[in-house]
Amino acid sequence: MKKRVFIVATCIGIGLCILLIRLMQVQLASTESFTSRNINLLERSISQRAHIYAIHDGRGGLVDRHNEHLSEEYQPVLLLFPFLRKIDWPVEQVAKIVGVSSKTLTEHVERTKEVVIDDGIELTEEGMKQVNALRIPGVIAVSKKKDISGVAAEHLLGLVGKNSDLLERKYKERMQNGNISFNTLTGISGLQYSFDEFLLSDGEKKLLYHVDRKGDSLFGTKVKYVEPGNPFYPVMVKTTIHKQIQMIGEALLTKYNIQKGGMVLVDVKTNEVLALASKPTLDRNNYKETITNYMLTRQFPGSVFKTVIAAAALEKGRYTSTRTFNCDLDVYGEKGSRALGELSFEDSFAKSCNYTFATLGNELIKRDKNMMEEYAKKLGMEERVGWHGRVFHYDDFRPLEEEDTNVIWHEEKEKHIQKAVAQTAIGQKDVQYTPLAIANMMATIARGGERKEIKVVSDILYKNSMSFYHFEEHHLGGDGLQQSTVKILQQLMKKVTEKGGTAESLNKLPYKVAGKTGTAEIVKDGSNQSVNKWIAGYFPYENPRYALVVVELSSASTGNNPIRIFHDYVQELYKYDQQVRE
């Protein structure tokens, strides 16, 4: 009998020890990351006895150059707490302010045990102030953060989402301090990713009240307002994007049904991105298939790259006004498909003669095997052209983290192969540049050869809109082009848009345009082929303000949508500039 009692007592003791250990784990050790699913027990326990209404998730936002919100908006909403149905409150006064019947508000409260959020009411900022001035318990008007549908520059701004692995790896200390949890949103792509450490939430701004098991208020009509203690946060990242101009560009890409490609518009004077859009449209429900920002991804530039060869030829004595080229020949000096006859250097550029630039490419590289890389850099086409530098504890911070590295050659030995050099000189073979880099080249030429890094963010702002970090303008080091060379390049590019040039349809625009077209062959299979179609240029020619690149990638269509988009964009920008002046 004693032995049995001992065994039973031992089993009960072991069971109690197990329960005690489990209880310690639940209450002390794993309160914020219970089980493999990382359940926050503290949050769950609070949610059982408290109703929470989140006003702001605490994450910083992104604004355009005029401080207009790009990723979010703030909407006045009326909150009606459920305990109102048990007290007398001046429903008529509230109804008069918000412009609905008192019966409507009463029915809203009676229908649910949750906080009524009446988004349907047209509440103004003034109406919000009037409601809150009444100081009615359970009746509150707030400005609520709301994600914008149809975000402008969505690929550039990027996505946010839940990533527990990233949080634990990158923000372990902040998680241990309880500032963030596994439910905190982090940047997945774009500027949201690059600036994640600045934008990361320090806590929600919310309204909270406690309830019993029936959902009735535990502490009368008391509603608690909770927000992080730091009055300077969350911060805002101020981009260089001009929202109105951005929306014009995106509308044109949609109008001309660009399936893959996009556009980049740069302010020539400041070298800041005014608009940047990539297609296909970002599908937030299946973002892995559409998340690529093709304006930061290197592509075959085709004849746009001839601008580099032209610059080198002008400075290395391969250009004379009397020299002509047999443009009935193709890139390899054989009978070609285009019958252009004997053309001068200027006409070869305007009509984009492959034979001319293949010939010049081979002549130049015999003198210096690094000629193409040298002159690409002189034109502002570095390996990466986006702004980079020291920002606080980051030694080499890049706002455009996703920007690809540009390339001309994959193997040194190909510089000694005539056909490889010929293909490279016309922007084929291994030559790949991002549309952003091409835009930088256009802006460099438009500025008279002054080379700069491209900026897409101007400031990081405190909550009160004061700047606590400004991204200074960065000039690129090294030698640039001679002024005489730049002037001739500008004239060559103007000739491309005049009668007989490859972009002559741009000749009668209200702004005079200078530019270069390009068509890069991607796939050739029998009669089917896919090409990249480019138009890159700047305007107005006499006093340059804008550098624009439009590209349609992997296109099989016969038309030239990029030139049509460029044409319409110039017209729209002219109209906009006239309105601003008025």
pLDDT-based confidence at residue 204 (cuts at 50, 70, 90): confident
Q: Is residue 32, in this structure, part of any structural domain at all?
A: no
Percent of the residues in the chain that have a pLDDT greater than 90, as a whole number = 58
Overall average pLDDT of the 440-467 stretch? 96
CA-wise closest residue to 154 among 276, 252, 273, 285: 276
Task: State the DSSP code for 379.
Answer: T
Gap between the Cα atoms of 302 and 382, Å rounded: 18
73-77, 143-147, 290-294, 396-400: least confident range: 143-147
pLDDT over 70 (residue 498): yes
Helix (H, G, I), strand (E, B) or coil at 340: coil
- Give me the pLDDT at residue 13, please: 80
pLDDT-based confidence at residue 111 (cuts at 50, 70, 90): confident
**Tokens 């400004």 label which residue?**
470
CA dihedral (437, 442, 447, 449) in degrees, to 10, reads 70
Tokens coding 355: 């034979």
- Sign of the C-alpha dihedral computed for residues 348, 349, 352 and 358 taken in this order: positive
Looking at 194, 303, 348, 352, which residue is catalytic?
A: 303
Q: What is the rounded average pLDDT for all residues in the chain?
A: 88
Tokens coding 443: 């802006």
Helix (H, G, I), strand (E, B) or coil at 241: coil
- Alpha helix segments (H runs only) across 409-480: 418-425, 435-446
- Give me the pLDDT at residue 21, please: 72
Express each pLDDT in 272-328 by its tens digit: 999 999 999 998 888 889 999 999 999 999 999 999 999 999 999 888 788 999 999
Please state the separation of Cα 36 from the chain's center in Å: 34
CA dihedral (564, 570, 576, 582) in degrees, to 10, reads -140
Please state the separation of Cα 539 from the chain's center in Å: 24
- Give me the pLDDT at residue 84, please: 81
Is residue 102 part of the annotated active site? The answer reads no
Q: What are phi and psi of 528, to 5 degrees?
A: -95, 135
pLDDT over 70 (residue 211): no
pLDDT greater at residue 477 or residue 228? 477
Q: What are phi and psi of 111, to 5 degrees?
A: -75, -25
CA-wise closest residue to 141 among 80, 88, 85, 200: 80
CA-wise closest residue to 253 among 494, 568, 29: 568
pLDDT-based confidence at residue 399 (cuts at 50, 70, 90): very high
Q: Is residue 183, in this structure, part of any structural domain at all?
A: no
Percent of the residues in the chain that have a pLDDT greater than 70, as a whole number = 86
Tokens coding 246: 């951005």
pLDDT-based confidence at residue 398 (cuts at 50, 70, 90): very high
223-227, 412-416, 573-577: least confident range: 223-227
87, 137 contact by CB (below 8 A): yes
- Domain of residue 388 covers 243-581
Q: Is residue 67, in this structure, part of any structural domain at all?
A: no
Tokens coding 14: 């072991």
94, 136 contact by CB (below 8 A): yes
Overall average pLDDT of the 45-63 stretch? 71
For 22, residues 6+ apart whose C-beta sits below 8 A from its C-beta are none
CA-wise closest residue to 546 among 237, 253, 249: 249
The CA radius of gyration of the chain, in Å to the nearest whole number, is: 31
- Give me the pLDDT at residue 279, please: 97
485, 467 contact by CB (below 8 A): no
pLDDT greater at residue 137 or residue 494? 494
pLDDT greater at residue 172 or residue 293? 293
Gap between the Cα atoms of 406 and 428, Å rounded: 13
pLDDT over 70 (residue 460): yes
Tokens coding 311: 């610059």
- Give me the pLDDT at residue 575, please: 97
CATH code of residue 295: 3.40.710.10
Gap between the Cα atoms of 430 and 124, Å rounded: 57
Overall average pLDDT of the 407-412 stretch? 96
Overall average pLDDT of the 364-376 stretch? 96
Overall average pLDDT of the 91-109 stretch? 86
- Give me the pLDDT at residue 524, please: 59
Q: What are phi and psi of 576, to 5 degrees?
A: -60, -45
CA triple 239-244-245, angle to 5 deg: 80
CA-wise closest residue to 440 among 425, 430, 432, 450: 450
CA triple 58-239-258, angle to 5 deg: 110
Gap between the Cα atoms of 474 and 60, Å rounded: 26
Tally of domains in the chain: 1
- Give me the pLDDT at residue 108, please: 80
pLDDT-based confidence at residue 219 (cuts at 50, 70, 90): very low
- Give me the pLDDT at residue 527, please: 55
Gap between the Cα atoms of 546 and 574, Å rounded: 11
Q: Is residue 166, in this structure, part of any structural domain at all?
A: no
Q: Is residue 49, in this structure, part of any structural domain at all?
A: no
118-122, 548-552, 554-558: least confident range: 118-122
- Give me the pLDDT at residue 66, please: 96
